[in-house]
Amino acid sequence: MKIVVLEGSPNRNGSSNFLAEQFTKGAQAAGHTVEVLDVAHADIHPCTGCVRCGYEGPCAQKDDVERFRAAILCADMLVFVTPLYYYGMSAQLKILIDRFCAFNASIQRRHMKSAIISVAWNADSWTFAALEAHYQTLVRYLNFRDMGAIWGKGCGTPSMTRASKYAQAAYDLGKRLK
């Protein structure tokens, strides 16, 4: 299976990217091909709502989205990776997802698998409620098959995350994919 990991953290050495690395190791150990895309540091402009794409592209804007589009549409699975920022995904990841509107139908037709990996300093039971609801809406709308989630509560720093149970959980999520 070809897996595309969409890293949305502006902190390249942060906790969410560390868990993405563990997931990648597990998926590769299971024989999958993994392409990691640094969404957070790409040149991606916000959707303007111009609809020149006709909802099936290409987008009128000329930025890195066409490169991401090509990778996404060749994938069997997408993994969304983000720190929790004010109870939602990072703006860097959200801006790419907003641009999916230029190729929604192509994504929907692929019936891809998906997963999400997120971390937060907060460890309350409700910490990820809003992000989880958003992710489940994306799964439903884009015809994804959810393969799992890592909700890294109490992962405020990379050292906290490395010492947590979530590193192994991320590896295991990648390893058990079929």
Q: What CATH number does residue 97 fall under?
A: 3.40.50.360
**Which residues, other chains included, contact 101 with Cβ-Cβ below 8 Å and sequence gap of 6+?**
47, 53, 55
Q: How many domains does the chain have?
A: 1
Structural domain harbouring 150: 2-175
Separation of alpha carbons 124 and 13, rounded Å: 24
57, pLDDT greater than 90: no
| pLDDT above 90 as % of the chain | 97
55, pLDDT greater than 90: no
Q: What is the pLDDT of residues 4-15, one digit of tens each?
A: 999 999 999 999
Q: Is 51 left (phi over 0), alpha (psi -120 to 50) or beta?
A: left
86, pLDDT greater than 90: yes
**Which residues, other chains included, contact 53 with Cβ-Cβ below 8 Å and sequence gap of 6+?**
59, 60, 101, 102, 103
Q: What is the pTM of this model?
A: 0.97
Helix or strand (DSSP H, E) at 17: helix 15-29
Side chain identity, residue 17: N
